[in-house]
Amino acid sequence: MTDSIIFHIDVNSAFLSWEACYRIHHLGGKVDLRTQVAAVGGDMTMRHGIILAKSIPAKKYNIQTGETILEAQQKCPELILVPPNYGLYEQCSAAFMEILREYSDVVEQYSIDEAFVDMTNTCHLFGTAEETAELIKNRIRDELGFTVNVGISRNKLLAKMASDFKKPDRVHTLYPEEIEKKMWPLAVSDLFFVGRATAKKLFTMGIRTIGELANCDPKWLKTILKKQGEIIWGFANGIDCSPVLSQAAPNKGYGNSTTTPFDVVDILNAKKVLLALAETVGNRLRADLVQVEVVAVGIRYSDLSYVSHQKRLRSSTNLTLEIYEAACELFLELWNGAAIRHLGIHTSRVQDDNFIRQLLLFDDTDYDKLAKVDDMVDRIRERFGIDAVKRAVFVDQPIDHMCGGISREKRTVDYSKLQIQ
């Protein structure tokens, strides 16, 4: 039986790299952001002021992805900040994935900037695993302008761990026989699936390296950390049986949330935000030809505390108004009257769209008519843009009529207003 050959390919400082390439190759820029103390950050005026990506030189100042722009600027006042441009990122990601699919028909896009590639059946066409990885890495750099790291192993976990070794523009192997030398000395916090909370628990248990975790009694770990203890013990020993999936698994739930442009302190504005979120969630459900049975609402107050509440519907749905009405009901039960900075609608128990609605004797709602209206609105927006149809309640309002997910201001950048060096 042939040993599996799995690549994990990860773009180095993806958002920043893509921005740097675009500025140099399309806008005539002379300064490479990747060599500067630079970061991609949200708009503080829109209350999206966090670091989304950073350059390698920015790591020297301990600037962290996810921290606020204010925190990052306190660490380095000279930090160069550039606005996010998700439209650009999606184009770069598509070009990156297109190259990978020329080397294998089994490519799993793991995120916008990373992918697993099963090279087991095609690697021999290009050379050894290391030679093929170098070929792919160099081609991406030469044709697209940005660099990647490639991790090589027998399974997805070890390939991903390998790609996180020294950066940028590197190929690393982490075969099972190399685990003890290359992976076990690493801090346990570097292991995939070990977050901050779990790492803290492991530290208090005296487990500081991946090797120490690997050599623990798995039954003891499971009694303390439950199912996760069993999983991370397996990962520490390089055990992972998950296949590379060329087609994404069906969504188990759909949801969107948004940070409001101002503190919401009244029911009217809260309901407008929920309606805007219901528009985008409903649109996604209908696009995937599915319905949901459970709707949940999440509220983050201005003090950053978070609460959520959910309900099971009488019948599965993908109708915008039905999702909205359920969300409003949940919101009124949940809200304590405090100022709100973030709202979300989340759904679960996904069903195929051919699920038959259970009719009620005293329910006179014309669901067929609502479905036809939603379908027509979806078609118009798809053809002429999302602003082609807008509910009257959103006219001349600061609340975007289709909010959630990637916000509008992050999708494009007006470069004429920026000073490109």
For each of the domains in the chain, give its residue range(s) and CATH number, in order of start. 1-172 (3.30.70.270), 183-236 (1.10.150.20), 253-410 (3.30.1490.100)
In percent, the amount of the chain with pLDDT more than 90 equals 74
Question: What is the pLDDT, as a whole number, of residue 407?
Answer: 64
pLDDT tens digit sequence for 344-397: 999 999 988 776 776 666 777 888 899 999 999 999 999 998 889 999 999 988
pLDDT score, position 134: 97
Asked if 177 is an active-site residue, the reply is: no
Q: Which residues contact 400 (CB under 8 A, 6 or more apart)?
A: 258, 276, 394, 407, 408
Average model confidence (pLDDT) across the chain:
91
Span 305-356, pLDDT tens digits: 999 999 999 889 999 999 999 999 999 999 999 999 999 999 999 988 776 7
With 70 as the cut, is the pLDDT of residue 48 above it? no
Choice among 114, 279, 322, 325 that is catalytic: 114
Instruction: Say if residue 15's pLDDT is above 70.
Output: yes
CA 26, 30, 36: angle at the middle one, nearest 5?
Answer: 110
With a cut of 60, say whether residue 240 has pLDDT above it.
Answer: yes
pLDDT of residue 171: 98
Instruction: Work out the pLDDT band at 45, boundaries 50, 70, 90.
Output: low
As a whole number of angstroms, the distance between CA 93 and CA 200 comes to 34
